[in-house]
Structure 1
Amino acid sequence: MLIFGWRRELYTLATLTVFCGSCRCTGPHALRKFVTRFTLFFVPLFAGNVEQYLECPVCGVRSTVPARDIPNLVARAGRIEVPLEEMIRTSPRNPEPAWPDLP
């Protein structure tokens, strides 16, 4: 008998002060990494899918972050004050509202 499946893991890599393009709120956004791993006999073997994103705590919008930018963002999270011109501005994946106006 062969037992296989998937395991999903969510990591919070850092917390950054970011301006959300969706709700127009400036605040602490979580830099997260979501990994889906293939398992065999409950032992994770390899990563199948990896997503990195910034998540707004107010509206819940997730903005995808390229893997090459992760080390710079983690290093930036350690700074106490971030100048306004260096602040990250996110844009939502889907610009349409989550709840459209109903007739």
Structure 2
Amino acid sequence: MFFIFGFRTKVDRFGVVTRVCRNCGNQAAQVITRRATKFTLFFIPLIPVRTRYTQQCTVCGAEYGIARAEAQRLPVG
């Protein structure tokens, strides 16, 4: 008997906010994304391993991590 297991990462667009970028300093749209990694068994996602939130500037393309509390607090639209 053998088991097929691994990890799968799903990227969801959480929202878009207008903020000042930390990298370029421009007031621009920032795309908030959520990356959820889950342990899979026979290609079925079972156990969440890690969830990360990131913010990416639409002007310069800089991407950096943000805390979950900050991502949920932002007024997305």
Q: What TM-score results when the alignment is normalised by the length of structure 1?
A: 0.67
- What residue identity is the alignment partner of 2:20? F
The 5-angstrom pairing of residues 11-50 of structure 1 reads: 11-50=12-51
Q: What is the aligned-residue RMSD (CA, Å)?
A: 1.3
Q: Greater Rg, structure 1 or structure 2?
A: 1
The 5-angstrom pairing of residues 7-86 of structure 1 reads: 7-73=8-74, 76-78=75-77
SS in 2 for 1:22: coil
1:41-96 deviations in Å (ceiling 9; x for gaps): 000011112111111122222232211223221xx124xxxxxxxxxxxxxxxxxx
Cα separation, 2, equivalents of 1:4 and 1:21:
39
Q: CA deviation at 1:17?
A: 0.3
The runs of 4+ residues in structure 1 deviating greater than 6 Å are: none
Alignment identity in percent? 28
Q: What TM-score results when the alignment is normalised by the length of structure 2?
A: 0.86
- What residue identity is the alignment partner of 1:11? D
SS in 2 for 1:70: helix
* Bigger share in strand: 2
Number of residues of Structure 1 aligned to a counterpart in Structure 2? 76
* Bigger share in helix: 1
Cα separation, 2, equivalents of 1:54 and 1:26:
14
